[in-house]
Amino acid sequence: MSISADSSYLEQRTERTKWFLRDRFGMFIHWGLYAIPARGEWVRSFERLSVEDYQAYYEEFNPERYDPKEWAKAAKAAGMKYAVLTAKHHDGFCLFDTKLTDYKSTNTKSGRDLVREFLDAFRAEGLKVGLYYSLLDWHHPDYPAYGDSIHPMRDSEAYKRDPARFTNYLDYMHGQVRELLTDYGKLDIMWFDFSYGEVKGEAWRATELMEMLRSLQPDIIVDNRLEASGEEGGSIYTRNPSLYSGDFASPEQIIPPSGVTDEEGNPIPWEACITLNNNWGYCASDRAYKTAKTVIRKLVECVSKNGNLLLNVGPDARGEIPRESLNVLEEVGEWMRRNGDSIYGCGAADLPKPEWGRYTRKGDKLYAHVLEESVGPINLAGLAGRIGQARLLADGSEAYVSRPWNATLYPDDAFFNFARPEHYTYPLPDERDT
Ligand code: FHN
């Protein structure tokens, strides 16, 4: 790929991802038939369920309490600006009215196009919308994981002797992506999942898929999992736009120590996807929910490293987000209403990480997130010089450290926000020297 083509690709990617880097915080939603057994989204594979056993969930699926307007309100109140729903996970069940299979929500008792209702509800609340689409498909007869194995391209001689079968599956997969990009209005994110081993890139006919995607929805942004697995989401990234470059890297359950860069060390957009408990799909026995404080710390850490946080909820079989998840989201929203300025449109401060917490920065505003309790006065005056000509605040005044807005809420955390000069200030060194 020539540099010029690469540079125009980078300019296009920069334009496409502007809203993404501004919004910083989204909701991931893993939902499907697996919510009925309530043992996580890999239940079919982990428990080697037979086609008949899993079919029983299809026959039963009728989420009578599904109200995506409620989901959208909860996401918005939490301070989230976008949301990504599983249109099809690995089990092959389609939450949308595809013409390419009968294995879809509109054929269940509910009869509903769950994706369309999701998109309508979240757009109505002003949130950007994305769809997750599994490249793997344990249901499709021409996908090698049909029935027993969980990884494609198993050394099954019979399968290898008939390469047309995987071609059939790829035609199906491309056809469904085309349906989603054509029949559901403007989508902001396409979240493919996942590649590994030899099944990556052109094994998915990724160039053809990306060219179709870009032609149908030029502004959509795409993750990097046409070439990366979940484990590799935060590390594998290529700038080759004609093949299968995504627009952002997708570290999973971790926050990369120093953000994510491409092969030449240039920062690239990235988004850490993280579960609220330990499961993506609904798991009734998993009560290990993160606290709001933990979620806020993760969000601040992502933004302090130029990244986004995609926080997952797993609705239950009735279509409701678990109460424990909603409780955490409500508390996070309270913090975001007071401190959203230190997240939205912010990024790394290009300063050494302070021992007491983290910085986020937006233009000439610096935000200090003080996470350690035993902190004396924070001497910020010296920072003015450290960040070059940019003043710490747009009006040219000094950095301000406002009192913890509500220390009682986080007794061991104090989140300072340099935006309200009514509290004590630190003189800049040149003024102090006069
Ligand atoms: O196997 C999936 C898993 O179920 C979940 O969807 C995550 C979310 O990023 N992706 C895969 C694991 O990397």
Candidates 223, 252, 273, 313: which one to mutate for ligand 1, based on the most atoms within 8 Å of Cβ? Answer: 252
pLDDT the model gives residue 142: 86
Question: Following CA atoms 425, 427, 428, 433 in sequence, which dihedral angle do they give, to the nearest 10 degrees?
Answer: -170
What's the pLDDT band for 237 if we cut at 50, 70, 90? Answer: confident
What's the pLDDT band for 9 if we cut at 50, 70, 90? Answer: confident
Greater confidence (122 vs 378) lies with 122
What's the pLDDT band for 349 if we cut at 50, 70, 90? Answer: confident
Greater confidence (48 vs 210) lies with 210
Read off the tokens for 406: 């509500």
pLDDT surpassing 90 at residue 115: yes
pLDDT the model gives residue 265: 81
Candidates 193, 270, 282: which one to mutate for ligand 1, based on the most atoms within 8 Å of Cβ? Answer: 193
Q: State how far the Cα of 125 lies from the Cα of 133, in Å rounded to an integer.
A: 23
Measured in Å, residue 131 CA sits from the centre of ligand 1 at 14
pLDDT surpassing 50 at residue 427: no
pLDDT the model gives residue 244: 67
Read out DSSP for 363-401?
TTEEEEEE--SS------HHHHHHTTT--SSTTS---B-
Q: Which range has the top average pLDDT, 45-49, 276-280, 423-427?
A: 276-280
**Of 33-37, 142-146, 292-296, minimum mean pLDDT range:** 142-146
pLDDT the model gives residue 6: 67
What's the pLDDT band for 420 if we cut at 50, 70, 90? Answer: very low
Measured in Å, residue 234 CA sits from the centre of ligand 1 at 13
Measured in Å, residue 15 CA sits from the centre of ligand 1 at 28
ipTM of the complex: 0.99
pLDDT the model gives residue 156: 63
Ligand 1 pocket check for 344: Cβ under 6 Å: no
Amino acid at 115: V
pLDDT surpassing 70 at residue 20: yes
On average, the pLDDT of the chain sits at 82
Candidates 86, 190, 194: which one to mutate for ligand 1, based on the most atoms within 8 Å of Cβ? Answer: 194
pLDDT surpassing 90 at residue 270: yes
Environment class of residue 422 by beta-carbon count within 10 Å: exposed (0-12), middle (13-18) or buried (19+)? Answer: exposed
Instruction: Report which protein residue has its CA nearest ligand 1's atom 12.
Output: 230
pLDDT surpassing 50 at residue 2: no
**Of 49-63, 121-135, 212-226, 261-275, minimum mean pLDDT range:** 261-275
Ligand 1 pocket check for 41: Cβ under 6 Å: yes
Measured in Å, residue 230 CA sits from the centre of ligand 1 at 6
Amino acid at 51: V
DSSP SS3 for 267: strand
What's the pLDDT band for 309 if we cut at 50, 70, 90? Answer: very high
pLDDT the model gives residue 410: 25
Ligand 1 pocket check for 135: Cβ under 6 Å: no
Contact at 8 Å (CB) between 218 and 210? no
Ligand 1 pocket check for 223: Cβ under 6 Å: no
pLDDT surpassing 90 at residue 260: yes
Region 360-370: what's the mean pLDDT?
Answer: 76
Ligand 1 pocket check for 230: Cβ under 6 Å: yes
Measured in Å, residue 63 CA sits from the centre of ligand 1 at 23
pLDDT the model gives residue 339: 80
Candidates 280, 283, 313: which one to mutate for ligand 1, based on the most atoms within 8 Å of Cβ? Answer: 280
Atom of ligand 1 minimally distant from the CA of 312: 8
Atom of ligand 1 minimally distant from the CA of 273: 9
pLDDT surpassing 90 at residue 163: no
What's the pLDDT band for 240 if we cut at 50, 70, 90? Answer: low
* Residue ranges with strand state E in 140-242: 189-193, 221-222
Contact at 8 Å (CB) between 357 and 370? yes
Q: State how far the Cα of 83 lies from the Cα of 122, in Å rounded to an integer.
A: 8
pLDDT the model gives residue 409: 23
Atom of ligand 1 minimally distant from the CA of 230: 13
pLDDT the model gives residue 243: 57
Measured in Å, residue 193 CA sits from the centre of ligand 1 at 7
Ligand 1 pocket check for 335: Cβ under 6 Å: no
pLDDT surpassing 50 at residue 229: yes
Instruction: Report which protein residue has its CA nearest ligand 1's atom 13.
Output: 230
Measured in Å, residue 293 CA sits from the centre of ligand 1 at 24
C-alpha separations of 288 from 40, 249, 277, 285 in Å:
14, 27, 5, 9
pLDDT the model gives residue 372: 61
Ligand 1 pocket check for 232: Cβ under 6 Å: no
Measured in Å, residue 90 CA sits from the centre of ligand 1 at 9
Measured in Å, residue 115 CA sits from the centre of ligand 1 at 19
Percentage of the chain exceeding pLDDT 70: 78
> Which pTM does this prediction carry?
0.88
Measured in Å, residue 237 CA sits from the centre of ligand 1 at 18
pLDDT surpassing 60 at residue 239: yes
Ligand 1 pocket check for 150: Cβ under 6 Å: no
